[in-house]
Amino acid sequence: MLTQPIFDASTKLLQWLEACLPLSCLLCQQGITQGLVCSTCQQDLLQCQHYCLQCGYLLQDPHCQRCGPCSHDPKPVILRHGGLLQPPLNQMIYRLKYDKQALFAPILAQLLYQQLRSQTPTSWPQVLIPTPLHPIKQWQRGFNQASLLALALSKQLSIPVHHSLCKKVKHTPSQTQLSKPQRKQNMQHAFRCQRHDYQRLAIIDDIYTTGSTSLSLAKAITAQACYPDVTIEIWTIARTDLQCSH
């Protein structure tokens, strides 16, 4: 699997860049003395706001965990994300995903890690599950960005990554132009998972839009659990429009 060598190479490249080169911000090219992102862009990225743990809707009360509708219809899946899919966060994700700039994976993972720590979860998951790509898609892209993010988070949190627990067995078309019902239909029976004895898992992905991919994967993971009560968290770098969908 190429993911680990790519992650190791990107980590070493980051260390080399920080140690050897006159630095400029990776996003705005402003001169900096340390790190890879300037303080202005860093501030734009750190959106430590309080969201509903089920639908991602922005909450005004920091003591609430769910919005009104989700409080009346709680689900076993918890959603956590680093921020909104807007500049400069979306630029970093696209450069990782489409321009194959793997050095952004550790930076994005650090941002998500800071958001996770700000939410002070009562317990951390036992394992991280990167959202798998279909073999054809992985061959076309050359790597799985979710795996790179999971490896970086694993290093931060000392939580293992299980790359082979789940596989994507259905080669689905791009969901970019699909409606929410079409996305849900597109992802039906898309994943297959091994039998497992985990009770707390976190699915890792780059972007959460309607949740069709992550929720389909969560359903497959739950179906193969040895225990009846499984807690699944969905961790993504960014979340699209947070308008309440209820």
Cis peptide before 22 (omega within 30 of 0): no
Which pLDDT belongs to residue 61?
A: 80
Residue 188's SS3 state is: coil
Which pLDDT belongs to residue 4?
A: 62
- From its phi and psi, is residue 12 left (phi > 0), alpha (psi between -120 and 50) or beta? alpha
Which pLDDT belongs to residue 10?
A: 58
Q: What distance in Å separates the CA atoms of residue 127 and residue 201, rounded to the nearest whole number?
A: 5
Structure pTM?
0.84
What DSSP letter does each residue of 187-204 carry, written as one string?
A: TTT-EEE--B--SEEEEE
pLDDT tens sequence across 1-38: 556 665 565 566 555 455 555 477 777 888 877 666 78
Please report, for the chain, the start and end positions of each structural domain, with discontinuous segments joined by +. 3-239
Q: What distance in Å separates the CA atoms of residue 7 and residue 125, rounded to the nearest whole number?
A: 22
The tens-digit pLDDT sequence of the chain (246 residues) is 556 665 565 566 555 455 555 477 777 888 877 666 787 887 777 655 677 887 777 787 877 888 888 888 877 788 888 888 888 889 999 999 998 888 889 889 988 998 888 776 678 999 999 999 999 999 998 899 999 999 999 999 999 999 999 999 999 988 888 888 888 898 999 999 999 999 999 999 999 988 899 999 999 999 999 988 899 999 999 988 655 445
Three-state DSSP string of 85-99: CCCCHHHHHHHHHCC
What spatial distance separates the first Cα and last Cα of the chain, rounded to whole Å? Answer: 41
